[in-house]
């Protein structure tokens, strides 16, 4: 539009200056040709930009991620391109979120089904044995005890899965409060002192009394307990499990380490995944303790990292910011 106005204004000025009908006719003809040519170029440009936008929208349907868009920086077409890109980005994010949620639920149901299959099979078999009239009262009590143990295991597993899913969904409410770390560690250590003594593992706690953290005491104890239990279970007689801590203006660091069996490099990146069991996991392990510990620590605005070497031990480092 600005170009046309400029051409017409120039033509008028030339007509006034020339004052000759033949020259004026030539100028007007030239102006008409230029305007027509400009219109054709403009229409082709708009058609090209429109085709590019249509092609882009078509490509979006075939890509799993957002493809690059050629930049149009001028006029209404540029605004239209920007708005189309925004809308497509929002729609893809919503689709991705919904897809991930469905996959999460599918994986969760698959995991629950897999974990419950073994105890349910055991309960079914022992129930058949209980119905056998030739079974003695002593054997009946033994089978009943085993059934009770399997039911307790399933109850614990279901409760743990519910807690983990609430943590991952961010709906489990935490109630942080000031807590003396040394006191917190000593309180949760009582059962582990017995566990370590039975396993002939030295249990060492070295926490400065002045360290204070903000944490939901119940859930933070749960996270640390899962890690400590894991370390004791994978440390041979004569070894040690050590808990230490330090604090500066940026963060509090808690280190839980052992000199036990260690973890293979191929397994180390996956130990915090739900239901993952490394090669040296115990038979009773379901692979949920470390996953829960990581989620609890994340909710406390912290992170946990693991270092390990087979035959030399494992070191868990927790950082609370």
> What distance separates the 2 farthest-apart alpha carbons in the chain?
129
Average pLDDT of every residue of the chain: 80
Residue 14 has pLDDT above 60, yes or no: no
Question: pLDDT tens-digit profile of 24-55?
Answer: 566 566 666 766 666 777 777 777 777 777 77
Question: Tell me, what's the pLDDT at 181?
Answer: 96
pLDDT, one tens digit per residue, over 110-131 is 666 766 777 888 888 888 888 8
pLDDT at 187: 94
Residue 100 pLDDT exceeds 80:
no
DSSP state of 179: E
Q: What is the C-alpha to C-alpha distance for residues 117 and 153, in angstroms, rounded to an integer?
A: 12
Q: In angstroms, what CA-CA distances link 190 with 178, 198, 204, 206?
A: 21, 13, 12, 15
Each residue's pLDDT tens digit, 284-305: 556 688 988 999 999 999 999 9
Residues 6+ apart with CB under 8 A from 24: 14, 15, 18
Residues 158-185 have pLDDT tens digits of 777 777 777 777 777 888 999 999 999 9
The distance from CA 10 to its chain's CA centroid, rounded to whole angstroms, is 65
Given a cut of 60, whether residue 72 has pLDDT beyond it is no
* Res. 12 pLDDT band, cuts 50 70 90: low
Q: What angle do CA 69, 70, 71 make, to 5 degrees?
A: 105
What is the reported pLDDT for 17? Answer: 57
- Integer distance in angstroms from the first to the last C-alpha of the chain? 59
Sign of torsion, CA 297 298 301 307?
positive
- Give 234-268 pLDDT, tens digit per residue: 999 999 999 999 999 889 999 999 999 999 988 89
């Amino acid at each position: 539009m600005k170009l046309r106005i400029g051409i017409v204004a120039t033509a008028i000025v030339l007509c006034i200056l020339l004052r000759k009908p033949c020259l004026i006719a030539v100028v007007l003809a030239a102006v008409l040709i230029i305007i027509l040519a400009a219109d054709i170029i403009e229409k082709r440009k708009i058609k090209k930009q429109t085709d590019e936008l249509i092609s882009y929208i078509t490509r979006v349907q075939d890509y799993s991620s957002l493809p690059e868009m050629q930049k149009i920086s001028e006029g209404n077409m540029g605004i239209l391109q920007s708005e189309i890109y925004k809308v497509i980005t929002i729609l893809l994010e919503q689709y991705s979120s919904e897809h991930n949620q469905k996959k999460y639920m599918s994986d969760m149901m698959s995991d629950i089904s897999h974990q419950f299959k073994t105890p349910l099979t055991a309960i079914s078999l022992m129930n058949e044995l209980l119905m056998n009239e030739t079974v003695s009262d002593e054997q009946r009590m033994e089978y009943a005890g085993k059934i009770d143990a399997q039911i307790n295991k399933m109850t614990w597993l279901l409760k743990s899965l519910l807690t983990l899913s609430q943590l991952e969904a961010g709906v489990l409410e935490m109630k942080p409060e000031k807590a003396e770390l040394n006191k917190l560690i000593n309180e949760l250590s009582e059962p582990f002192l017995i566990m370590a003594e039975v396993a002939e593992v030295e249990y060492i706690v070295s926490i400065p009394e002045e360290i204070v953290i903000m944490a939901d005491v119940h859930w933070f104890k749960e996270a640390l307990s899962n890690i400590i239990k894991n370390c004791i279970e994978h440390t041979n007689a004569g070894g040690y499990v050590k808990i230490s801590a330090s604090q500066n203006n940026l963060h509090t660091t808690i280190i839980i380490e052992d000199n036990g069996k260690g973890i293979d490099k191929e397994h180390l990146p996956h130990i915090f995944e739900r239901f993952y069991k490394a090669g040296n996991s115990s038979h009773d392990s379901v692979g949920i303790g470390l996953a829960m510990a990581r989620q609890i620590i994340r909710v406390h605005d912290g992170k946990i990292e693991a270092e390990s070497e087979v035959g030399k031990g494992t070191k868990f480092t927790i950082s609370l910011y």
